[in-house]
Structure 1
Amino acid sequence: MGDTPKRRVAVFGAGYIGLVTGACLAELGHQVVVRDISPEKIELLRSGEIPIYEPGLGDMIVRNKERLTFTLDLQEALASAEVVYVCVDTPPSASGDADLSRVWSVVRSLEGAPRLRVVAMKSTVPVGTGTRVREALDAAGLGHVGYAANPEFTAEGTAVNDFLHPDRVVVGASDEETARLVAQLHEGVDGPVVRMDVRSAEMVKLASNALLATKISFINEIATLCEKTGADVEEVARAVGLDHRLGHHFLRPGIGWGGSCFPKDSEALRQLASNTGYHLQLLSAVIEVNNLQKRRAIQKLKDVLGTLAGGRVTLLGLTFKPGTDDMREAPSTVLAARLLAEGAEVRCWDPMARPAETEPWTSTTRHATPETALDGADAAIVVTEWPQLKEVDWARAASAMRRPVLFDGRNMLDPAGMRALGFTYLGVGRP
């Protein structure tokens, strides 16, 4: 790691991004304090418990306990901080724009930071936010404090590894000293640092997620066409992905994308374009395809069962992806709501999900195992590709279901094998 000085860093926000950022910077040798306004969250962290599930994060926090602290107190966080990382939520507002109220709350609190040299933005913000933050810092007498856009590109379930072994570290800054300091913070990270202006760095995050969402929606469109023509989308995607210009990443057909980034960032980019008077036609279609994908799953069951009214349908997996407990924008929420609206009884299984005590989840029943959730069901939908589903005794499940109808929304099971066990098997883009 050379002779680069270790910094004192304050991370604002103890969510997924804030905790991973704080823990990884501590792992790199920096002195880090994570500040949040939730007493429950800080109390958990101080007691050694992690309020989210992220592989490797808990061990890293324990390993760096001498360099990583947690606080509710603003002055404690700012007292010696040379760098402040903004890692707070920016949810969609009523207008569809990103709600930056938490970002501005952090910016307004920085006036009394005696040693502050740089404010770095991890939160996903609209292009142009950095200019407004710069103006606010100048107005607060913090003209000497640099500003950098340092977007995150971590995926839940692999976030720690993604931070320490990234494809790139994007640093957007208007002055060389700020860019150098933020780059030096990442010394020891296994990935190239890419420097650019602030507005370009802000755009990179939105554009990256929009392109990934586009690949998913594209292969789902091809999957629908495969169903109508007798082609197999799995074979098509495999061969398409071997083209080095395209790659196989995210060419996986399924029920659609969800989570904390793709839906929010795609809508934010579309809204950003609308605010400039430009309509992003391609991205609008990408979002529409994704919204329809969940509803097509319900229609497939109706085509087989005739009606869902009075039927029992099991959702296998609730989180938006395996390896996380995150339910944000999960396709399962739309599926459960639509099934209930059709008059079905909804059963659920997931090893980690913690659905909110709100509709539609208060009208569903949770089961401890896939097998008990399938008993007596008329149909099941594989929503999340949890590896446990590979271990289910599907022969027993077929005999225990009232009607062994299975929609494999992630194409994770063998169609011929499932049909041999007596299932009416439905996949995505499979003949």
Structure 2
Amino acid sequence: MTQIPAIPLPSPKERRRLREAKSLSQADLAAKVGVTRETVRSWETGRTNPRGRKREAYAKLLNTIAAEQEGRAEPALAEPVVATVVPTDGGTTKTRPEPPAKQAAKPRSPVPVAMPVTVPVTTATVENDRPLTPAQAFDALCARTAPTLVRQTYLLTGRRTLAQESVERAFQTAWQRWPEVAVDRDPAGWVRAAAYEYAMSPWHRFRPSQRHPDAPPAEPADRAFLDVLLSLPPAQRRTLLLYDGVGLDLPETAAETEASTPAAANRLLHAREAIAEQLPDLADPETLHRRLGEVGEAEKLRTPKADRVRTGSEHRARFWTRAAIAFTTLIIGATALTLKTAPTHYEPPQSPGKAISGVPPRMGPGSLSYEETELRRKLREELQNGPERLTPQPN
């Protein structure tokens, strides 16, 4: 009896990328294959591999998604051609093809129903032998990740304007450091971390525009859920959003929040317990994941435009460059003025006067007596250089 060989599966990172490219959440893919969301997460992290009919259905679905990406009706058997954008010393960029093994090893960012992000932009697909320019690659990253990232930031802060501003500022920073972001393993994660850090900065509380809370959601259920979510500590809220909202696994969540894996796990458990205590219907992680997506999508939030982000980033860079030049010029001028007007020798300070006690006050001259008057007259009449004033000579 001839044994049918098992259908080959892509690497765990490639499985996740294909799912995100189809804009499927882990729950959606689990429903199509007939497994749970935790099973799909285990497949995408490489802890386990599907077997039997589940493997066949899973591989067929992934091959179909890959075929749709290539624009062909048949499943794609070959890896797509990918070229990495590499900055050169001259300020230009060039592309360098990568082997399929390295392409599959590149991490992908999540795209579940509610929150997640998109395909990475570390690579630029070569179409008609014309690689993407840095501006085109940045625009692709912004167009794919900005809408979901704005919703995530809104759930993190509960403020619409701050969420839009945080995402726009994160993309401006990414464009300023694009040579570094373009070769990052996860550009979408880089931008997401920058947006989260800016949104959760404690200095926003001193801004006049942030002193009053935003209008709550229109639906009472959404309002209650958002109140409970915002009552969590910032660290727990961010961990919950990354794990149950974005769909990162625990090590990736711990790395992005700059915490150890046990600490991230404890934050996640405490956040789930706090939500389940006040909203028992959300005790199931799958229900919580779906609820995060529904609340995020219910709000109409403005998405930053890529061209506006790049223009604003360049204007900001020019402003700070000119400000630095002006400040440096001011320091140089102040230093020169100080050197010009500074004394060239040491002048000891004068000691302050002190009052002396026990000395009688100085009295003015009174009227002269007869004897004093005669003496003054006699002295005035006599010669000043008389013989009596000569020095006596020895005999």
Q: Which has the higher helix share?
A: 2
Q: Which has the higher strand share?
A: 1
Say yes or no: TM over 0.5: no
Task: Identify which of structures 1 and 2 has the higher relative contact order when contacts are C-alpha pairs closer than 8 Å and 6+ apart.
Answer: 2
Per the normalisation by structure 1, the TM-score is 0.29
- Larger gyration radius, structure 1 or structure 2: 2
